[in-house]
């Protein structure tokens, strides 16, 4: 602009000349700016990447049975005798590539339908490979069988035996020793299956067989000058119209994507340098051959005029591999990120409004045409793998900003929901317990409610383990100290404790440990601390390893020492079962307990309630049930608030037993009447929240909200949970990833909602108000803490993939403050 202003001051011959010249300069400047902006690629947002990837997957699942209608076929001049619009056989290589991509999506999506769809496919085909015994194409479906088999909950469902029998027979035969993978596509179809079987079975002979076959193919089909693979030996002497060698984009995509699937499964002692070097060489060549539109031509070295349309299947495989290579540190981020983003931006343009991926080249063995309005399942599989790996890449290198719409009360915290209290208020300080999802440290966060600032975070136990079950329970002692008690997740017969100095919550005394003496390998977990005033006794309710049941220990010195264990609640279901119990202080002399028959993965749980006072179990109306001295409470002896399916029967698509309940919150009103919040599992994608409220004469049980999808597949009954206001249980807070009133999927993460719920309200009358919205990360496991005139709503916010894989901060709102502070 300075240059242009100077031009205005020059004494040109005519005014019109000056204006014409200036206009030309302005147009040149504008064009240059546009070109510069066009070359600056915007970083995709991880949420948008996942959204469009799920959209493509949803479309493919919905149209799977009718796939022939959408299949890409060559134009009439190139049509072959075997081209048709029939559905591919479900064990065909075409579908195997789709399943491989769908599995990759299932590892990053919060929606369980993708993994469940794969389970359904595998089950109805009896986990078999396709018919041709030695053919690599007919081994490809083994990829997703073995992938599912590595999920601890699917190990018994996803059988690998048919694959293992086939491969054992191949290795034992003379024919199996011959060269079989003599076209480059085979290097995607078979090698990842062989390597993954070696990993699962810990049998290196499968790995050795793969290595031998792979290198035979490499020695024949690899071009060391171009660092690309010929499709097969028939292409050695063929050339593009421009005279360059013919290297098929999707063919090399098969190899590149196959390496990205295979290399992670190599054992540490395997000499994998050959495969990593091969991958890097291919990546470097792909960087050099990418088109301006971000794709690769169907013939990688062909001229643009010979391949005028985009081709999405090869480009998808390359995008998947590039994202994976940077994630694994094999490719330099700064060098390859522009290539990756440019490719993804091009692929997004290939997806229509319904979610169909267009521009997929039809089945073939050479570069060819593609069509905007037609697709193919193998191209979709490649796209799903690309989107999933890019999502991992963005989460690692370009994570969304932390949600800052509400106050952060503690960084790097986490908890389960069977440890209470998890936070206490004392002397104007909010003291929060947590277990780090990064280091496994047992942590205490101290937040000053007066200044509304974080004071500090204290580590009570370094590197215990990353597991949300290990968070401490807290108790505010009469001597102005706070006690914390914690334990590992059933791995040790030990619980730990520490107390603060009087009134100084930044200084904690040395950690003590208490060893539990019983004869069983399982340890203790789930510490809960409650005090009964008339007994002068502090109770630690926990689950022990001997019976797997709720148990307690007593302390008469506020946790400095503990007495013997007492079996508290015994399961009625046969076997080594585990009733889940939540505890709540009904009044200073009474503990309320809501509990289940067992784990919803194993049983269609009922919900029960009892009260415990003076060593006696009571119903809510005060009717005595039994004395603890006569033995533990049997689960069926309590008041049944909800009748579950009462069975252990479930389908392969429901990881938990349908119509199984799980207790998740308790509260009391001004008359000390209990209110029980619990979740109900219908299937992995449909949970409900329910409340049972006692009115002094009877229970009011009703459904209050849709709880949405499970948090993750290996614990399909896990929801975002709910919480009551401690002073008024009619005020209810929930976490859900769907519309709480209709169940409609809103396409986002778990958000926090609040509603006022009276005894006669149910889901049809309740009006939910959002507390959080448009969040980048899940908001789960709300709790409400009150004391000293303060009331605080807290929840966990951050990536939460499993109970051993999370990175959460504690966010919240100060709902009320003492009168003098207002």
Query: Is 557 annotated as catalytic?
Result: no
State how far Cα 557 lies from the chain centre: 43
CA distance 163 to 142: 6
Other residues' Cβ atoms within 10 Å of the Cβ of residue 402: 15
Helix (H, G, I), strand (E, B) or coil at 490: coil
Q: Which of 707, 667, 673, 670 is nearest to 690 (CA)?
A: 707
Q: Which of 185, 265, 597, 761 is catalytic?
A: 185
Cis, bond preceding 421 (omega within 30 deg of 0): yes
Nearest to 290 by CA among 252, 236, 258: 252
Please give the Cα distance from 202 to 186 (Å, whole number). 24
218 by Cβ neighbours in 10 Å (0-12 / 13-18 / 19+) ranks as: middle
Residue 792 three-state SS: strand
CB 384 within 8 A of CB 53: yes
- Give the whole-angstrom CA distance, residue 764 versus residue 157: 39
Residues with Cβ < 8 Å from 237, sequence gap 6 or more? none
Length of the chain: 822
* Burial 494-516, CB ≥16 within 10 A → b, else e: ebbbbbbeeeebeebeeeeebeb
Strand partners of residue 504: 501
* Cα diameter, the chain: 113
Cβ–Cβ under 8 Å, residues 352 and 63 = no
CA distances (Å), origin 760, targets 440, 612, 619, 703, 764? 44, 28, 22, 11, 11
Run of H or E residues at 117: helix 113-124
User: Which residue(s) pair with 667 in the sheet?
Assistant: 675
Q: CA–CA separation, 40 vs 425, rounded Å?
A: 51
Closest CA to 101 of 84, 114, 88: 114
Strand partners, 445: 432, 457
Measure Cα distances from 564 to 498, 764, 801 in Å: 20, 49, 37
On whether the CB atoms of residues 340 and 390 are closer than 8 A, the answer is: yes
d(CA 612, CA 631): 14
**Nearest-CA neighbor of 605 among 700, 690, 481, 529?**
690
User: What's phi and psi for 218, nearest 5 deg?
Assistant: -60, -45
Burial class (CB in 10 A: 0-12, 13-18, 19+), 760: exposed
- The pairing of strands 778-787 and 790-798 is antiparallel
Whole-number Å distance between alpha carbons of 297 and 307: 6
- State the DSSP string of 287-324: HHH--TTSS--SBTTS-GGGS-S--HHHHHHHHHHHHH
Active site residues: 185
């Amino acid at each position: 602009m300075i240059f242009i202003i100077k031009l205005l001051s020059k004494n040109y011959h005519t005014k019109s000349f000056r204006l014409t010249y200036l206009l030309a300069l302005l147009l040149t400047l504008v064009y240059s700016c546009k070109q510069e902006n066009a070359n600056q690629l915007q970083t995709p947002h991880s949420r948008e990447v996942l959204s469009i990837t799920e959209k493509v997957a949803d479309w493919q699942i919905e149209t799977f049975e009718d796939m022939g209608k959408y299949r890409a076929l060559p134009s009439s001049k190139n049509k072959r005798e075997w081209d048709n619009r029939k559905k591919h056989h479900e064990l065909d290589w075409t579908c195997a590539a789709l399943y491989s991509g769908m599995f990759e999506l299932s590892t990053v999506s919060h929606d369980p339908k993708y993994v469940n769809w794969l389970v359904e496919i595998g089950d109805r085909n009896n986990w078999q490979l396709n018919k041709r015994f030695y053919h690599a194409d007919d081994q490809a479906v083994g990829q997703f069988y073995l992938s599912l088999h590595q999920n601890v909950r699917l190990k018994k469902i996803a059988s690998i035996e048919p694959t293992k029998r086939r491969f054992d027979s191949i290795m034992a035969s003379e024919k199996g020793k011959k060269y079989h993978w003599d076209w480059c596509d085979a290097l995607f179809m078979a090698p990842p299956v062989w390597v993954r079987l070696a990993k699962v079975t810990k049998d290196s002979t499968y790995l050795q067989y793969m290595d031998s076959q792979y290198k035979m193919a490499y020695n024949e089909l690899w071009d060391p000058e171009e660092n690309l693979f010929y499709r097969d030996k028939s292409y050695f002497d063929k050339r593009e119209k421009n005279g360059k060698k013919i290297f098929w984009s999707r063919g090399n995509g098969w190899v590149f994507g196959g390496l990205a699937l295979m290399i992670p499964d190599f054992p540490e002692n395997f000499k994998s340098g050959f495969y990593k070097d091969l991958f890097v060489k291919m990546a470097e060549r792909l960087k050099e051959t990418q088109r301006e539109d971000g794709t690769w031509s169907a013939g990688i070295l062909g001229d643009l005029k010979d391949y005028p349309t985009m081709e999405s299947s090869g480009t998808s495989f390359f995008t998947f591999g590039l994202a994976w290579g940077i994630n694994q540190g094999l490719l330099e981020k700064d060098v390859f990120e522009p290539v990756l983003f440019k490719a993804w931006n091009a692929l997004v343009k290939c997806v229509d409004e319904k979610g169909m991926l267009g521009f997929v080249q039809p089945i073939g063995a050479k570069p060819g045409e593609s069509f905007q309005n037609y697709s193919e399942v193998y191209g979709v599989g490649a796209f799903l793998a690309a989107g999933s790996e890019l999502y991992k890449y963005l989460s690692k290198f370009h994570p969304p900003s932390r949600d800052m719409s509400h106050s952060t009360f503690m960084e790097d915290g986490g908890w389960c929901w069977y440890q209470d209290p998890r936070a206490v208020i004392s002397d104007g300080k909010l003291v929060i317990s947590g277990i780090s999802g990064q280091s496994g440290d047992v942590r205490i966060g101290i937040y000053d409610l007066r200044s509304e600032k974080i004071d500090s975070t204290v580590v009570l136990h370094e590197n215990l383990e990353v597991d949300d079950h290990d968070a401490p329970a807290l108790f505010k002692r009469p001597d102005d100290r706070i006690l914390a008690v914690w334990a590992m997740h059933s791995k040790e017969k030990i619980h730990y404790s520490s107390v603060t100095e009087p009134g100084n919550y930044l200084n904690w005394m040395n950690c003590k440990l208490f060893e539990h003496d019983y004869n069983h390998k399982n340890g203790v977990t789930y510490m809960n601390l409650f005090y009964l005033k008339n007994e002068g006794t502090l109770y630690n309710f926990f689950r022990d390893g001997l019976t797997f049941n709720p148990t307690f220990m007593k302390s008469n010195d506020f946790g400095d020492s503990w007495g013997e264990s007492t079996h508290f609640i015994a399961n009625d279901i046969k076997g080594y079962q585990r009733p889940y119990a939540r505890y709540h202080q009904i009044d200073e002399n009474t503990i309320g307990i809501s509990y289940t028959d067992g784990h919803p993965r194993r049983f269609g749980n009922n919900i029960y309630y009892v009260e415990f006072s003076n060593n006696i179990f009571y119903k809510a109306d005060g009717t005595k049930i039994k004395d603890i001295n006569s033995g533990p409470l049997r689960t069926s002896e309590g008041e049944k608030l909800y009748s579950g399916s009462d069975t252990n029967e479930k389908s392969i698509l429901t990881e938990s037993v349908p119509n199984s309940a799980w207790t998740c919150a308790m509260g009391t009103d001004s008359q000390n009447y209990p209110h029980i919040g619990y979740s109900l599992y219908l299937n992995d994608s449909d949970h409900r929240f329910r409340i049972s409220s006692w009115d002094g004469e009877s229970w009011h049980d009703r459904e209050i909200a849709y709880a949405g999808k499970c948090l993750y597949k290996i614990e399909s009954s896990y929801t975002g949970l709910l919480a009551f206001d401690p002073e008024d249980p009619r005020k209810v807070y929930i976490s859900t990833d769907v519309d709480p009133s209709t169940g409609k999927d809103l396409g986002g993460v778990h958000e926090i909602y609040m509603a006022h719920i009276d005894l006669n309200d149910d889901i049809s009358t309740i009006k939910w108000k959002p507390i959080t919205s448009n969040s980048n990360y899940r908001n789960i496991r709300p709790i409400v803490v009150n004391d000293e005139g303060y009331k605080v709503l807290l929840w966990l916010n951050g990536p939460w993939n499993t109970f051993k894989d999370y990175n959460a901060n504690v966010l919240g709102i100060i709902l009320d403050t003492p009168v003098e502070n207002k």
